[in-house]
Amino acid sequence: MTQDPRTVYSELLARRKAEIAGRDATMVRLGYARLGLAVAAAVVVWQSLSSGAFSIVWVLVPVAAFVALLVAHDRLSRALENRRRAERYFTRALARLDGVWAGTGETGIGYLDPTHAYAHDLDLFGKGSLFELLSTARTHIGEDTLARWLLAPADPATVGRRQQAVEELRPRLDLREQLAVLAEEGRGGVKPAALAEWGERPAELSSLAFRVALWIATVLGIPGGLAAAALLLHQFGLFPMRPLWETLARDLFLFVLLANGWFLFRNRAAVGRVAAAVEEAAHELSLLAAVLRLLESARFVSPLLAELRASLDSEGSAPSARLAKLARLMELLDSRDNVFVRLAELFLLWTPHLALRVEDWRRHSGRTVRRWLNAIGEIEALSSLASHSFEHPADPFPEFVEDGPRLEAQAIGHPLLDERRVVRNDISIGGPLRLVVVSGSNMSGKSTLLRTLGINVVLAQAGAPVRAARLRLSALSVGASISISDSLQGGVSRFYAEILRLRQILDLTGRRPAALFLIDELLNGTNSHDRRIGAAALARELVARGAIGLVTTHDLALAEIADELHQAAANVHFEDSIADGRIHFDYVMRPGVVRKSNAIELMRSVGLRI
């Protein structure tokens, strides 16, 4: 039985709020208890010193109880923070259901490439984008993976495996909540590509000579440090020393200063490179370790998820424990900035020892890091798609066919629009029909139709459900020219930018998978004569190269292109109506060419005298 997402989220949100209220009350009681114990300890000390009624040792009883309450307070505080993160998670989930999610999540704007064949045109990234709607990833690698799936379509076999994984994860709300509470915003300082590349590079400090020299210097450094401390205390009269012992201590200190100083100077470049490389690639690893720990305890059935989970199994300690160990080494490396650590560096050789331990970690575990990161990224991306599927139970998975190119959609709508307002249409392209020319007045829905088809094809080939009653398609390479604009800094006019994109779309044709072109206001940036000739030639070329797609226009002369291509093309249109001086749109696609325009009425509606 399909669960109603709003009911489930509302119930869980109410439960988390109740748990927060209960824990808040417990925190207050713990605070009063600590205050009472502090008063009790003060009373015990006062009574013991003033009257000697009992031993002052009894003060240890309230002190021990106070320490126990501190430990309990810390645990409760962490549990309370997890509940608050869960509360924010379900609040954002309900905001998605209410259609007020834009600007509340990660926009993924860093993944936007203006030269990509469809990313900008289909609103994949940015505020209110598909990425923001889908992504619930807690790590950079999860976001990277989801963005890559949206930017590069998968083959039907891979899509099928992802669909099975999404089906399995869809009811696993407990797992998705656990991922959400691992960190408030996730996406720590870890750079996945840099971390994987660092792990695969050969270790630098691997020679036996370096190890032996380091331990000899450390063995000398410890008594050298003690000698230095004794000399310092003796200088201030706090540690009297006989002349012979003072001379021996001074000689030992000078010997260690020279020997260890030479060792540090000789190896400073190699140690510095190791420390700098790991700090750049592997800072803030605790979140990745926590995600791995959660996934290691999970069990999956679908082939893709089972394979990803199996890739985390290894001999020896678990990947989460290994990453946690590296995280601890990073924390110790960070302590080099402490002034006391800097003073002790000459005697303890803190940084070389840590650099050597980091290199040992890389030698034993570095080459498996990429596999761990890939598993985390794919499971998080699948979890994002599963959340979307859970929140839209009426959205089906698409069906892929081999006899392409083909795109058949029933009641297809735009997934970024509120489901309560979206108008759905049917469309079928493939077989003899290769081109659909969409005419209509301004603001009637032509561009939205192109975006609707394009973004659903992107969802379909990422492994996600689609906003349609049914979608059948073959594998397709999408190329879109919808949101083309000029560039003042680049010195590129809108028309030139458009023809560059058309060239890019043509380059997608003539190979597998077949191209799906979505071209809005074809060649709108030039005169009507050149537009008519160029548009007809481009349409014939696209069809001849085996592509399918749609072009929109408000120039009715271009609608004649469909007549020239006979069965390979068809005209459809959107209409508007005027009532009480206002223009109304129903956004319903109809067959044939539109026979009226609203441009003059639109100009009049804003006060222009036409």
Q: Does 403 share its domain with 515? A: yes
Pick from 110-114, 220-224, 341-345: least confident: 341-345
Cis? peptide before 405, omega within 30° of 0? yes
Supply the pLDDT for residue 379.
Answer: 94
Q: Does 90 share its domain with 32? A: yes
> Chain-wide mean pLDDT for the chain?
86
CB 573, CB 416: distance < 8 Å = no
Q: Please count the structural domains in the chain.
A: 3
CA 161 – CA 137 distance, rounded (Å): 20
- Give 331 or 604, the one with higher predicted confidence: 331
Return the DSSP state at 119: T
- Give 375 or 560, the one with higher predicted confidence: 375
On whether residue 514 sits in a domain, the answer given is: yes
Quick one: what percent of the chain has pLDDT higher than 90?
A: 40
Question: Across 337-341, 380-384, 484-488, which has the greatest mean pLDDT?
Answer: 380-384
Helical H runs in 128-190?
Answer: 130-134, 140-151, 156-169, 173-180
Pick from 10-19, 53-62, 290-299: least confident: 53-62
DSSP 187-205: --S--HHHHHHHHHSPPSS
Whether residue 288 is predicted with pLDDT greater than 70 in this model: the reply is yes
CA 492 – CA 486 distance, rounded (Å): 6
Residue 361 domain boundaries: 192-294+317-373
CB-based contacts of 476, cutoff 8 Å, min separation 6: 153, 404, 405, 407, 457, 461, 513, 514, 515, 516, 548
On whether residue 278 sits in a domain, the answer given is: yes
Question: Which of these, 375, 329, 331, lies nearest to 354 by C-alpha position?
Answer: 329
CB 501, CB 481: distance < 8 Å = yes
Please give the C-alpha separations between residue 1 and each of 8, 387, 395, 580, in angstroms, as whole numbers: 13, 17, 15, 48
On whether residue 312 sits in a domain, the answer given is: no
Instruction: Give pLDDT tens digits for 191-245.
Output: 777 888 888 888 888 788 888 988 888 888 888 878 888 877 777 777 777 878 7
Whether residue 167 is predicted with pLDDT greater than 90 in this model: the reply is yes
CA 585 – CA 98 distance, rounded (Å): 24
CB-based contacts of 593, cutoff 8 Å, min separation 6: 439, 556, 559, 571, 573
Q: Does 414 share its domain with 357? A: no
Q: Where are the beta strands (DSSP E) in 381-494?
A: 399-400, 406-412, 425-430, 435-440, 470-473, 476-481
Supply the pLDDT for residue 490.
Answer: 47
* 492 pLDDT tier (thresholds 50, 70, 90): low
Q: Does 206 share its domain with 240? A: yes
Phi, psi of 549 (to 5 degrees): 165, -170
Q: Does 412 share its domain with 477? A: yes
Q: Does 369 share its domain with 476? A: no
- Give CA 379 to chain center in angstroms: 12
**Confidence (pTM):** 0.87
Q: Of the candidates 355, 373, 391, which is a domain's last residue?
A: 373
Q: Does 334 share its domain with 408? A: no
CA 396 – CA 392 distance, rounded (Å): 9
**Tokens 């009350």 -> residue:** 25
Supply the pLDDT for residue 443.
Answer: 79
Supply the pLDDT for residue 491.
Answer: 46
CB 524, CB 422: distance < 8 Å = no
Whether residue 489 is predicted with pLDDT greater than 50 in this model: the reply is no
